[in-house]
Each structure stands twice: as C-alpha cells, then as structure tokens.
Structure 1
C-alpha cells in the first residue's frame, strides 16, 4: 500500500473542492483500495459539512445528510469520473451511475474531487440514460468550470461509452459486491 492507501473499514472524508477551496465534505467507509482503484461506501445519514465559499451555498446545501440509498463509489486514479453502484434498502443492486467529476486527489484523511454535474445512469439491462447534461453549460456559464474542462468531460464521457460498448469495465471486479457481503472484493 502507498502512503495514501486506506485499509478496508476505515472512515475517510470525501471532500468537494472548487477552485482550491473546500465547499462540502462528508464521511465514507473504505471498502477496497489497491493504490490505483479504491471503493468507498456512502451510507444513508452520512452527515454533510458545508463550508463558506465564494460561489455561495453548495447545491446540496438544503440537505443535512445523504438521504439516498447505499452507494458504492468506485474511483480510479486519473479518471474524470467515478462509477457508483446503487443498492435498494435490502442491499440488492439497483443500477450503475457514472458521475463525472475532477480526478481525485488523495491524502491520509480522504480525497478531494469536484462534481461536474454530468451523469450517466446504466440500468441492469444495459439501457443508458444521460442526466444533467445542461449542468456542463450552467457550470461553465457560472465560472465553476472552463471550456477546456467541458471538452475534457465530454472526451471522458465518450471514453466511458466506448468501455461500455466493448464491455471492458475496469470496475467489473465490484459486480458481485453488495453491502451485506462486505469483504468479497
């Protein structure tokens, strides 16, 4: 393990950082980490901490905590996206979700990223559904991201489609993971 790898079961912080300033953070639990790919579990009730920021309140500022379902968030060093695996209340797989975001920056306490808004929902039957496409334009217009970032995100999105079409999924090692079966990865 590298100095910034974490042991399974450790709680770390997922931090959203915009233009070098912390905007929001919350705890997640490490499921697996090989130094290149790491996965964390976001649990319902994970409390959000919001920080004053020049861009004003964080978009999730009205929420005190994650109110959604359990989510396995899988990150690979250098990628402009993470792959999220959503589960129902019983821990059964619902769908995959590709979250386009800045490449993670890791340290001993957790990791930094920044959500770009664009998302791709991948249903169990393989059907794909783009979400929040307009967020790229809105974030550029607001000064949160640059035109270059928009281009990089669209290139990353094209790469994800290529991976899906080729069934060459670097996150496939988590296909059988379920929160009720921790330790299977």
Structure 2
C-alpha cells in the first residue's frame, strides 16, 4: 500500500480498537517504534493510546540513558543517531497511561500522561506533553514520523508550562539532524502549540473531558503481534 500524507484526500482511516504502529524514521532507518491502540480517527486528529506493558522498540543507548543520571549518555544517543550506528532493543512501556492526539499537518502532537491509581485501571491526568515531531505519513500498519527532541510540558490544569530537552535540540542542530528549514518549522510550531495552551484550543478546549477520561480495563494491551499485516 502506498504511503499517504496525513490529512490527504485519500487518507487511510484507522478503526477504533485497531492496533497500529508508530515509527520514528531517520532517513530509511527505524529509530524507534511503538504499538498503539486507536481510540478515534477523524479529520481533526488521530487519537491513540498505550499503557504499561505495551510493546516498544528503542535504541539500546536510549534505554541505557533512561536508567542513568548521566547527561553525557543522552548526548551519546544523539551522536549515534547522526552517525546511523544504533541498535534497537525490545522493551515495554512503563508507569503511565499515554493518550496521543495527533492533528494532521502539524509539527507537534499533544500527549496526555495519566498516572495509574491502584489495580482497577483507574487513572489521573498527570500532565500534558507537547511533542515536537515531523508531520505523520500514514502506512497500512500505522504511521511514520520523527521526534524533534524539544518538548513543552504543561501542568494538568494548564496553569503553568516549561520547555524540556533544549540541550538535546541544540545538539541535534549542531549535528545537522535538524537543519535550518526544519528549525523554522519547529519555531512556528512552538508558537502555535503555546497559543493552543493559552487560548484553550485544540484538545485543551475540552480539558475537563480529558481529565475525566478513563481507559477501559478490558482493552487488550497493544503489541506488535496484534498489528494487522
């Protein structure tokens, strides 16, 4: 099946309940991948979710950096990306429930992180996380994008926010991973995303619904084996 830019006239629609795969692609190499459950798919946004136990693949160096407090190891991850020398490792999502709201054409997605309260599947909105990334390209099994390092973290009540991973973004700029053209796109997306927060637009217009959202505990955990071939 041919790839389709998200929001195009022949856009493939995914079915609620379907398991799809997000791939972060650097040139023709898979940088990371996640198994996600489709919550909704419309002209406004593709909404997917994952929770503890969902299967992911990440660079081995990234997995090590997550277990380490040394910032130098985070730098090694980006240097491996620039050199194309990483190795993927299989692992699982941990600790939080994550809902990803992916609008078409934008250089960001809006992510809602929920803490897991108790063993009954209950959750509480912990914070919002605006992830700056390339616009999605759809495939038969899911969609491709690429994380552009910098992020905007927003409190659950939308009262305060802060920028995250600016040092990693600057390193990616120095190494040519983010060129001048893409940097201009990210700058414009920063302004757009912050306006959405302050003006309560996009998913933030329904912040109360998001705060009350709960995952159905009977949903099967997203795994790569569940993705339709």
So what's the TM-score if we normalise by structure 1? Answer: 0.85
Q: Would the aligned equivalents of 1:37 and 1:77 in 2 still touch at CA under 8 Å?
A: yes
- What is the CA deviation profile of residues 110-131 of structure 1, one whole-angstrom value per residue up to 9, with x for unaligned ones? 0101000111111023211110
In 2, distance between residues paired with 1:128 and 1:150? Answer: 21
- DSSP-derived class of the 2:172 partner: helix
Q: Would the aligned equivalents of 1:11 and 1:28 in 2 still touch at CA under 8 Å?
A: yes
Query: How many residue pairs are counted as aligned between the two chains?
Result: 180
In 2, distance between residues paired with 1:63 and 1:41? Answer: 19
Measured after TM superposition, the shift of residue 50 of structure 1 is 5.0
Measured after TM superposition, the shift of residue 48 of structure 1 is 2.2
Measured after TM superposition, the shift of residue 51 of structure 1 is 7.8
So what's the TM-score if we normalise by structure 2? Answer: 0.70
Is the radius of gyration larger for structure 1 or structure 2? Answer: 2
In 1, distance between residues paired with 2:156 and 2:55? Answer: 29
Say whether residues 1:179 and 2:211 are aligned partners. no
In the TM superposition, structure 1's runs of 4+ consecutive aligned residues that sit over 4 Å from their partners are: 50-54
Residue in 2 that maps onto 1:33: 41
- DSSP-derived class of the 1:119 partner: strand
Q: Would the aligned equivalents of 2:19 and 2:35 in 1 still touch at CA under 8 Å?
A: yes
In 2, distance between residues paired with 1:102 and 1:118? Answer: 12
Residue in 1 that maps onto 2:27: 19
Q: Would the aligned equivalents of 1:83 and 1:171 in 2 still touch at CA under 8 Å?
A: no
Alignment of 1:142-157 (within 5 A): 142-157=175-190
**Distance of aligned partners of 1:166 and 1:49 in 2 relative to their CA distance in 1, 3 Å threshold:** closer
In 2, distance between residues paired with 1:152 and 1:10? Answer: 31
**Larger % of helix: which?**
2
- DSSP-derived class of the 1:70 partner: strand
Unpaired runs of 5+ in structure 2? 1-9, 61-80, 118-122, 218-229
Relative contact order: is structure 1 or structure 2 higher (C-alpha 8 Å, sep ≥ 6)? 2
In 1, distance between residues paired with 2:15 and 2:89? Answer: 32
Q: Would the aligned equivalents of 1:22 and 1:51 in 2 still touch at CA under 8 Å?
A: no
In 2, distance between residues paired with 1:133 and 1:50? Answer: 21
Measured after TM superposition, the shift of residue 21 of structure 1 is 2.4
Residue in 2 that maps onto 1:71: 98
Q: Would the aligned equivalents of 1:116 and 1:135 in 2 still touch at CA under 8 Å?
A: no
